[in-house]
Structures are given as structure tokens and as C-alpha cells.
Chains A and B, each alone.
Chain A
Amino acid sequence: MALDNWSLVAIFEIVVFLTIFPLLIFGWLMGAKGRHPIRDAPFESGQTPMGEARRRYMMQYYPYLIMFVVFDVVAMFLFTWGLVFSSISFSQDYVFLIFLIILVAPLAYALHLSGKHESW
């Protein structure tokens, strides 16, 4: 029985799904049911919930997310470099080194901002 890798991944995930999903349904059916305004309130350590939950928290860290998106891509490109590193000559390697050196400038700018604002 020769299955290719991704069918195996799919089968494995289906097995996990077929175990966990009935469990959730089972818990949904077996648990007690009931509605009450106090019991349905979000948990706030015993106090009456106040205000809206979905507020704009933590927006001062937004630049971290931007940096993540950017360096995600960089890391992926560096992976391809790592794969060929020892099988290509130096004259080809230095393209990636130039790529890295170009990235130093934005990183330095980001660190500069980081130092100035205590966060980026």
C-alpha cells in the first residue's frame, strides 16, 4: 500500500478529527444545560462584568506584527539559501550575503525606534 506523504498527513488528521469531534459532541450532549444571566456572564473573578470585552488592547505593539510579516518572508528565503549553502560556490553565496546586508538597515531603523519609544 504505497500512499504518498500528503495522503498520510490527511489520514492522520482525519483520525484525530474522528476522535476529537465525537468527544466534543459527547460533552455537548452529556453536560448539564441551563441559562441564567449570572452564569452566562463572562468570568471576571467574581465581579460584575463591565464594559465591552472586544476593546482595542495592546495596539502599541502593532509594529511587532509588521516586523513579523516581513521577517517571516526573509526567513523563508534564507531557508532556501541554507539548503544550497555548501553545494554552491562563494561567488553565488554572496548574493544572499548582500541580501542580508541590505536587511541590516531596516533592522537598525527598527531598533532605533525601539530604543526611542521603549517599543517599536
Chain B
Amino acid sequence: MADVVFLALSGLIIASAILALEARELIYGAIWLAISLMGVAGVFILLGAEYVAMFQVAVYVGAVVVLIMFTIMLVHRESGRIVDEEGPGRLGRAGAFVAGLVALTVAVATILLTPVSPAAPEFYRVALPELGRLLASSYSIALVILGLLIGATVIGALTLAKVEREGEPDGTVE
């Protein structure tokens, strides 16, 4: 059962990832990306990481994809597409070649170098508070640094958005 679900999810992730990059219109690409990220959340659930899966759905699909879609709608040109995309030309083939090489190398290397026993331990039900305890003890420095990162992000992104708005004194559209 789990095997079938895993295969279906993998197929979904790979197919929608390819479609996200190759979809003709950017907005459909964003939809496929959202589906791919939902598939990743499904894999998390399969691995027993429900909380992380919910985090993934809420942050990626609920926030990042919405931001991407809205940006796409802002850079949308009224006639036709935004960028004349490169067809499957020389660069596309080069990209596919490089990508294939890297993926193969990484897969072989990881499988060969993995020190972990490949047989999965019994299913375990994680006590969620354990996660918070870990965050508050072993990873506390990282948490503080994340706070600083968030602060920098807010200030940086809002400043960028402000610069962008000063181009239009009244702040209205068009």
C-alpha cells in the first residue's frame, strides 16, 4: 500500500515539476509548482512527519505560491507572454545534459556513501512537544539567528517595495 502511494506521489512530484518549468504560461507553471509542493508534503506524511507536512503546506502552498502568483500577475503584459522563452534549443539540451549528469552523480554518491541502515525502523509516533523542546535547547542559537534573518527580510523586502512604489507618487495602479 505504502509503496503504491509512494510511487504515485513521486510520479506526481516529478511530472508537475517538469510541467512547472515547461508550462506555456507562467501562471500555469505556478499551479503545477503548487501541486508539486503538495506532493512533497504527501511524502513528508508518508515518512511520519505530519507536522512538517502541515508547515510545508501552510508556508509554501499557502504563502509562497500565492506571493509568486501575485507577482506573476503584476509583471503580466497585456498582450502575450512576459518573456520570449528559449525553446528547446542548444541551451535546453545543455541544461538537460548537465542536470542529468548531476542528478546521476548525486544519486549514486548518496546511495554509496549512506552510512544509515537502509531498512526502516518500526513506525514511530512522535510526541510533538519533543520538537519544541529540541528547538528551545539544541537549536536555540539557530532560532535567534532565524529571528535576525526574519528581521532583515522584512526590512529589506519592505524597503524594496517602497522604492518600487516611489516611482508612482500617488501609489495607485497603472
Give the B-binding residues of A (Cβ under 8 A): 6, 52, 54-60, 62-63, 65-70, 72-74, 76-77, 80-85, 87-88, 92-93, 95-96, 98-99, 102-103, 105-107, 109-110, 113, 117, 119-120
| Chain B residue contacts of A62, Cβ below 8 A | 70, 74, 161, 164
Total number of B residues with any Cβ neighbor in A under 8 Å: 44
B147 engages A69 (CB within 8 Å)? no
Interface residues as binary, B37-80 with A (CB distance below 8 Å gives 1, 0 otherwise)? 00000000100001000010011001110110010011010100
Does B82 lie at the interface of the complex (its beta carbon under 8 Å from any beta carbon of A)? no
Expressed in whole angstroms, the Cα–Cα distance for A99 and B144 within the complex equals 6
If over half of A's interface residues share one DSSP class (helix, strand or loop), that class is named, otherwise mixed; here it is: helix
Residues of B within 8 A of A (CB): 45, 50, 55, 58-59, 62-64, 66-67, 70, 73-74, 76, 78, 128-129, 131-133, 135-137, 140, 143-144, 146-148, 150-151, 153-155, 157-158, 161-162, 164-165, 171-174
Q: Given A54-B73, A83-B128, are A60 and B136 neighbors across the interface (CB < 8 Å)? A: no
